[in-house]
C-alpha cells in the first residue's frame, strides 16, 4: 500500500545516461543517496516482517535430531542444535526478526562444553531425564516442562547422566544482539565448570513466590531463578478457577516473572505458559512483538494472516510482528502452549503497539 502523497521510488524511466542519472551515480560514488528515491521502502504505513508465519512439526524433526545424535559427536559440534529457520530469514538464519528457536539433543554420557555469550538464552525441556545445565557454577536439573534461564554472559555447559535422548527447545535473542552488533562469545577453557553453588539453589530460594532472599546481590536485568519447574507451573495453572475469564486473545495465560521486579524473565524475552480450554476461540489481534510458541500438550489451530497452522504435541510455530492471529482449540481436551516474545524490547523502547483484529 502506498500513500498518495509519497514520492515515487520507481523514478528510473529516463535515458540511462541522462544528466540526472550521472548525478545520481556521482552521489552513489560519494556514498550518499537521495532520500526521495528510498522513502517508500524506508517508511511503510505499517511494519511488514520479512519473516513468514511457520510451523515446525516435532514428529518430522525428531528423527533428524536422533540421526545426528548417532552420527555427530559433541566434540565436533559445539552444540547439537537443529535451527528452526524461517523461510523469510535465511541469511543470517533466524526464526523471527529478533528471536531464535532450536531443538537441542544430548545423549547419555555426553557433555556440551562450557561457554558464554552476550545473547540471552533459555531452555524449555521437551523430553528425557537425567541431564542438567551448570550456570555460573550452579548445577540446574532439567525435567520436561521446566524453563531454565541462561541470561547473557553466564557460563553454561550441559551434561547428561540419565537414560535415553534429552531434547529441549533453545530460545535465544542472538538475532537482536547481532543486529545491534553487541555479540561477544567466549570459551571457558575447560570442558565443564566446577560446581561452586548447591544444585538448584537459585530455584529453591526464589520459587515460593513473594519472599525474596535479601542477602543475594544479583539484582540485575535478569531473573535470578535457574529453573522454573514444571511442577510449579502446573500448580499455578491449576490454581486458576475453571470459570476464570482469562484473556480473550490468549486464554489462561501466565507470565513467568523476575522475582526482583515482577517484570519479564530477561530484558529482551518474556516467557508465558497458556492454557487454551477445549472449545476456546480466541479473539484475533496483532502487535509489534514477535512470538514463538511451543505446544506443551494438546492440539489446536492458529490462524496467522489467513495462514492456518494446525499444531499438535511438541510442535513449534512462529508468529511474526504485526501479523493478525488467533488461537482456536476445537479439540476435546485443553491445550497448553509455552510462548516467548520480544515484547519487553518494544515496551522499553516505546515501540509496543497492538490492535484487536475485530476493532
302 touches ligand 1HN by CB under 6 A:
no
Complex with ligand 1HN: residue 135 or 345, whichever CB lies closer: 135
Question: Residue 117: what are its φ and ψ, rounded to 5°?
Answer: -150, 160
Complex with ligand 1HN: residue 172 or 289, whichever CB lies closer: 172
Cell digits of residue 359 = 476493532
Which 194-253 positions form the footprint of ligand 1HN (CB under 6 A)? none
Dihedral (Cα; 270, 273, 275, 281), 10-degree rounding: 20
Complex with ligand 1HN: residue 100 or 317, whichever CB lies closer: 100
Which 97-136 positions form the footprint of ligand 1HN (CB under 6 A)? 100, 102, 104, 121
* Residue whose grid cell is 516473572: 257
List Cβ neighbours of 54 (8 Å cut-off, separation of 6 or more): 84, 86, 87, 309, 317, 318
Complex with ligand 1HN: residue 174 or 325, whichever CB lies closer: 174
Complex with ligand 1HN: residue 79 or 277, whichever CB lies closer: 79
Among 37, 79, 221, 283, binds ligand 1HN (CB under 6 A): 79
Supply the minimum distance, in Å, between the C-beta of residue 355 and ligand 1HN: 32
Complex with ligand 1HN: residue 100 or 293, whichever CB lies closer: 100
- Rounded to whole angstroms, how far apart are CA atoms 168 and 292? 15
Q: Quick one: which segment of 96-104, 186-194, 229-237, 282-290 binds ligand 1HN (CB under 6 A)? A: 96-104
Q: Quick one: which segment of 39-47, 170-178, 255-263, 331-339 binds ligand 1HN (CB under 6 A)? A: 170-178
Supply the minimum distance, in Å, between the C-beta of residue 293 and ligand 1HN: 18
Supply the minimum distance, in Å, between the C-beta of residue 83 and ligand 1HN: 7
160 touches ligand 1HN by CB under 6 A:
no
* Contact footprint for ligand 1HN (CB under 6 A): 79, 81, 100, 102, 104, 121, 156, 170, 172, 174
Amino acid at each position: 500500500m502506498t500513500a498518495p502523497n509519497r514520492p515515487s521510488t520507481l523514478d528510473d524511466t529516463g535515458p540511462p545516461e541522462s544528466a540526472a542519472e550521472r548525478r545520481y551515480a556521482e552521489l552513489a560514488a560519494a556514498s550518499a543517496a537521495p532520500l526521495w528515491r528510498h522513502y517508500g521502502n524506508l517508511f511503510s504505513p505499517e511494519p511488514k516482517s520479512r519473516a513468514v508465519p511457520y510451523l515446525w512439526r516435532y514428529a518430522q524433526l525428531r528423527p533428524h535430531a536422533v540421526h545426528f545424535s548417532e552420527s555427530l559427536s559433541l566434540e565436533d559440534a559445539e552444540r547439537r542444535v537443529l535451527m528452526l529457520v524461517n523461510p523469510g530469514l535465511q541469511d543470517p538464519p533466524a526464526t523471527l526478526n529478533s528471536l531464535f528457536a532450536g531443538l537441542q539433543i544430548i545423549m547419555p554420557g555426553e557433555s556440551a562444553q562450557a561457554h558464554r555469550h552476550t545473547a540471552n538464552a533459555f531452555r524449555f525441556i521437551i523430553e528425557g531425564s537425567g541431564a542438567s545445565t551448570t550456570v555460573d557454577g550452579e548445577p540446574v536439573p532439567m525435567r520436561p516442562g521446566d524453563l531454565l534461564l541462561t541470561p547473557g554472559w553466564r557460563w553454561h555447559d550441559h551434561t547428561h547422566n540419565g537414560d535415553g535422548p534429552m531434547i529441549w527447545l533453545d530460545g535465544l535473542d542472538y538475532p537482536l544482539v547481532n543486529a545491534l552488533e553487541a555479540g561477544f562469545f567466549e570459551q571457558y577453557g575447560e570442558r565443564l565448570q566446577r560446581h561452586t553453588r548447591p544444585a538448584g539453589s537459585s530455584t529453591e530460594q526464589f520459587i515460593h513466590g513473594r519472599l525474596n532472599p535479601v542477602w543475594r546481590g544479583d539484582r540485575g536485568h535478569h531473573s535470578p531463578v535457574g529453573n522454573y519447574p514444571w511442577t510449579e507451573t502446573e500448580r499455578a495453572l491449576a490454581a486458576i478457577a475453571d470459570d476464570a475469564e482469562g484473556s480473550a486473545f490468549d486464554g489462561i495465560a501466565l507470565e513467568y516473572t523476575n522475582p526482583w521486579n515482577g517484570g519479564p524473565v530477561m530484558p529482551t524475552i518474556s516467557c508465558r505458559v497458556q492454557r487454551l480450554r477445549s472449545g476456546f476461540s480466541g479473539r484475533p489481534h496483532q502487535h509489534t512483538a514477535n512470538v514463538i510458541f511451543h505446544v506443551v500438550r494438546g492440539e489446536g489451530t492458529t490462524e496467522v494472516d489467513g495462514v492456518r497452522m494446525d499444531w499438535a504435541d511438541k510442535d513449534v510455530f512462529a508468529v511474526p510482528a504485526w501479523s493478525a492471529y488467533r488461537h482456536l482449540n476445537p479439540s476435546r481436551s485443553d491445550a497448553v502452549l509455552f510462548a516467548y516474545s520480544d515484547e519487553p524490547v518494544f515496551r522499553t523502547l516505546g515501540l509496543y503497539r497492538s490492535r484487536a483484529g475485530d476493532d
